Amino acid sequence: MNKIDPKALFRLSVLGPLVSRERLERGELQSIVRELAAREYAIPGSQRRYLGQKTIEAWYYAWRHEGINGLSPKPRLDRGQSRLAPEAQAAIVAAKQANPRRSIRQIQHLLEASGTVAHDTLSRSSIHRLLQQQGLSRMTGSASELEEKRRFVAATANAIWYGDVMHGPKVPIGGRLAKAYLVTLFDDASRLVAHSAFCPGETALDIEGVLKQALLKRGIPRKLVVDNGAAYRAQTLQGICARLGIHLIHCRPYAPEGKGKLERWHRTCRNQFLSELDERHLTSLDDLNARLWAWLEQVYHRRPHAGLDGQTPLARYQQDLAQLRPLGPLAPQLDALFHHRVTRQVRKDGTVSYGGRFFEVPFELSGQRVHLVVDPHSETVVGVENEKGESLGQATPLDALANATRRRCKPASATAPAVTGVKDGPNVVELAHRAYYNLGEA
């Protein structure tokens, strides 16, 4: 399975509000691009926090033409350099610093009108690259403008899922009392819980485990709306969504209203489930989850919901069964889609370590750096790949006892007859021997 470039995954996450739309109205593209450019991002490989409008727009069109492959970075030959004259560079930077709201087009017209550059000799892309290098490409705007918000509901089940984490009760985990975290995926149209589970943490691995079960139970959603936490921005989660055709959308920071229905469900869970929970029956995380799942299927999903005009979440979900997107042929590949890749150096004995255990890989890989294909939930290595995602063989748990009696492969030179000299042509050793002892020609 080909590895997706991390920068391509980041760019796809930025484009979430655009690529998740089936149709854009006139002028809506520029409006959304402006809003995306005003956000702050953790840009991979850069200390900058903002993206330019033209950059975002270019990514959008690249995604439309080539999909995720179009978002992989293509290095420029003149990267890190500006071919503009020093005088023009200084004038561009000064014009932007004097008025940060000046657009590239305005700067271009200003320099032409002032005679700094000749007409039609200064390209907008050159200005844009220079401003990016100087960290001046961001358009600033008023943060006090009133933002219009509208109540909405998805047209069909599985059109939009929301994902979030709620702090739960303390239960025995790993021999000690620790807090459990409720990870939930929630359907917008039906208010049905696609899957929910109490986990020992709120990591990307916990979220991926819940997502996998939700896919098996409910099929593939079209959009997944999550917050901006590090767990939801993990490359592994982004890669899974990209391969399944799920548009992963991150809510803006400090805007919880974007997942209002899920927040309301959290309140229902606290008031109706956690308040009724008898913790004397909880000896493990499994006990807690067993009661959660029973309550969901027997109570919550079958109780009339005020937001559904008295319909139950289960009945509303089943109303759209014919329109849902099932896993279908992807079902046998689901485990592989959730595998992680980690880099390891193969030891001289043909082993690698993962999760405190040793695994044997093809011996000819000794000394090489490889990507281990791992099942993070069972902490096992299932295979080895190269940088291109091509399989290099299987990985099996190390059996040191069996290796004590296993016949080893030896290099061909170990069984070949020894070479004691060169029969044909001059021999340096023999020539020196004859000259030293005056033996002459043999």
The two three-digit tokens of residue 400, written as one number? 């040191």
Asked if 298 and 312 count as a contact pair (C-beta separation under 8 A), the reply is no
Average pLDDT, whole number, for the chain? Answer: 84
Asked if 301 and 196 count as a contact pair (C-beta separation under 8 A), the reply is no
- Nearest one of 269, 288, 268 to 278, comparing CA atoms: 288
C-alpha distances (whole Å) from 288 to each of 62, 269, 295, 303 are 47, 13, 11, 21
Fold entry, domain 339-403: OB fold (Dihydrolipoamide Acetyltransferase, E2P) (2.40.50)
Pick the CATH number of 86-133 from 1.20.1260.10, 3.30.43.10, 1.10.10.10, 3.30.70.270: 1.10.10.10
Q: CA 201 to CA 343: how far, in whole Å?
A: 24
For residue range 59-68, list pLDDT tens digits in order: 999 988 888 8
pLDDT given at position 419 = 52
Q: CA 81 to CA 58: how far, in whole Å?
A: 21
The residue type found at 257 is E
The residue type found at 85 is A
Q: Does 208 have pLDDT greater than 90?
A: yes
pLDDT given at position 144 = 36
Asked if 238 and 337 count as a contact pair (C-beta separation under 8 A), the reply is no
Q: CA 98 to CA 177: how far, in whole Å?
A: 59
CB atoms within 10 A of CB 342: 14
Q: Does 259 have pLDDT greater than 80?
A: no
DSSP letter for 41, please.
-
Q: How far apart are the first and last CA of the chain?
A: 66
pTM attached to this predicted model: 0.63
Question: In the predicted model, what is the mean pLDDT of residues 89-97?
Answer: 88
**What SS3 state is found at 321?**
helix
For residue range 263-301, list pLDDT tens digits in order: 999 999 999 999 998 888 899 999 999 999 999 999 999
For residue range 376-391, list pLDDT tens digits in order: 888 888 889 888 888 8
Domain ranges of the chain: 6-71, 86-133, 160-329, 339-403
For residue range 332-372, list pLDDT tens digits in order: 889 889 998 888 999 988 888 888 888 888 888 888 899 98
Asked if 431 and 425 count as a contact pair (C-beta separation under 8 A), the reply is no
pLDDT given at position 423 = 58
- One DSSP character per residue, 388-409 reads TS-EEE--EE--HHHHTTSPPP
For residue range 303-314, list pLDDT tens digits in order: 999 889 899 999
Fold entry, domain 160-329: Nucleotidyltransferase; domain 5 (3.30.420)
